[in-house]
């Protein structure tokens, strides 16, 4: 059984994982706690990603495969740390190791994201098996595992998930079906050696390319992204997802996944708990223009 997934418990997992592969965890910094605990090592140019449980092992293996596929296809992306055999499992948590990079300024923008997505969507077939895309597959497990969340909120999220599954199944897509990144926002880009590189391949799948355009679109309503930035993004990609008839369904799906992602860490930080309440309240009221705070 996996140990409890928290910032504190993952330090012990990191320490043991590093011992097994011959790396030094001294001074490692936790840089993100979400679907994974992500640590940057101080003693080597390496980032360690610790997944929430053993059931994520196949996902971690797929992440490594996708990164190697993109490397071979010439798509700028983060690289696997190839000096160790991986992934490994420590206390029920799959661990992978990646080459650390030093982000440069300015941070990549939305036009560069559109350009990388066009490359990703045109990269051909990967040498790894990809699942069919299910935009809501993580929602039910998150609801089942939720702690410190009111039953009425969980009941609402569960019923909303069921309704969205039915609406999503009726969609007709305009763009070709194929490999998608699955979580394509500018926070999953870094500037390295003067160019924007993609990262985070946990939910890469075969699915509708429209999904990869949703995060930028939603940012115009929820996170204050200027309309002209969104227009530049859609022009660079060559398709405006907001003009597609199925847009509102994908928006609802994406916002539900964003809300339940945040729900996982309500016990970590009071601000996260408050933001979760803000988001779930706006979904319940169908307030589509309420500003959200990014985490």
Query: Could you tell me the CATH number of the domain that includes residue 44?
Result: 3.30.200.20
DSSP of 34-94, one letter per residue? SSEEEEE-SSSSEEEEEESSGGGHHHHHHHHHHHHHHHHHT--B--B-TTS---EEETTEE
- Predicted local distance difference test score (pLDDT) of residue 295: 87
Is 41 in the same domain as 121? no
89 lies in the same domain as 115:
no
Return d(Cα 112, Cα 195) in angstroms, integer. 9
- Beta partners for residue 198, in sequence order: 77, 189
Residues 178 and 69 in one domain: no
Residue 4 lies in a domain: no
Give the pLDDT of residue 172. Answer: 97
For position 71, what pLDDT does the model report? 96
In percent, the amount of the chain with pLDDT more than 70 equals: 99
Could you tell me the residue range of the domain that residue 62 belongs to?
A: 9-99
On the question of pLDDT at 3 being above 90, the answer is no
Q: What is the pLDDT of residue 195?
A: 96
Mean pLDDT of 34-43: 94
Domain at 119, CATH number: 3.90.1200.10
Q: Which residues contact 150 (CB under 8 A, 6 or more apart)?
A: none
pLDDT confidence of residue 127: 86
Q: How many domains in the chain? A: 2
Average pLDDT over residues 55-61: 95
Tokens of 39: 């640590």
Residue 46 falls inside a structural domain: yes
Could you read off the pLDDT of 143-191 as tens digits, one per residue?
Answer: 999 989 999 999 999 999 999 999 999 999 999 999 999 999 999 999 9
Residues 48 and 115 in one domain: no
User: What integer is the mean pLDDT of 208-231?
Assistant: 97
User: Are residues 95 and 114 located together in one domain of the fold?
Assistant: no
Query: Residue 75: pLDDT above 80?
Result: yes
């Amino acid at each position: 059984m996996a140990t409890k997934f928290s910032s504190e418990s993952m330090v012990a997992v990191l320490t043991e994982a590093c011992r097994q592969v011959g790396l030094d965890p001294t001074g490692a910094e936790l840089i993100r706690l979400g679907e994974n605990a992500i640590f940057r090592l101080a003693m080597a140019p390496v980032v360690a990603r610790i997944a929430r449980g053993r059931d994520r092992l196949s996902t971690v293996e797929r992440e490594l495969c996708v990164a190697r596929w993109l490397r071979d296809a010439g798509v700028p992306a983060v690289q696997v740390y190839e000096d160790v055999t991986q992934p490994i499992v420590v206390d029920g948590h799959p661990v992978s190791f990646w080459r650390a990079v030093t982000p440069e300024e300015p941070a990549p923008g939305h036009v560069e994201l559109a350009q990388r997505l066009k490359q990703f969507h045109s990269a051909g077939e990967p040498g790894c098996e990809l699942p069919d895309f299910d935009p809501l597959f993580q929602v039910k497990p998150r609801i089942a595992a939720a702690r410190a969340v009111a039953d009425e909120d969980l009941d609402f999220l569960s019923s909303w998930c069921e309704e969205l599954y039915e609406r999503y199944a009726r969609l007709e897509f305009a763009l070709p079906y194929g490999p998608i990144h699955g979580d394509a926002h500018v926070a999953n880009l870094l500037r390295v050696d003067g160019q924007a590189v993609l990262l985070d391949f946990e939910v890469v799948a075969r699915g509708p390319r429209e999904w990869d355009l949703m995060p930028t679109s939603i940012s115009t309503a929820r996170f204050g992204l200027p309309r002209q930035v969104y227009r530049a993004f859609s022009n660079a990609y060559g398709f405006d997802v907001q003009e597609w008839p199925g847009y509102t369904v994908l928006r609802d799906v994406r916002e539900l996944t964003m809300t339940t992602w945040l729900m996982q860490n309500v016990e970590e930080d009071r601000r996260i708990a408050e933001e979760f309440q803000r988001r779930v309240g706006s979904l319940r009221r169908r307030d589509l223009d309420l500003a959200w705070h990014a985490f």
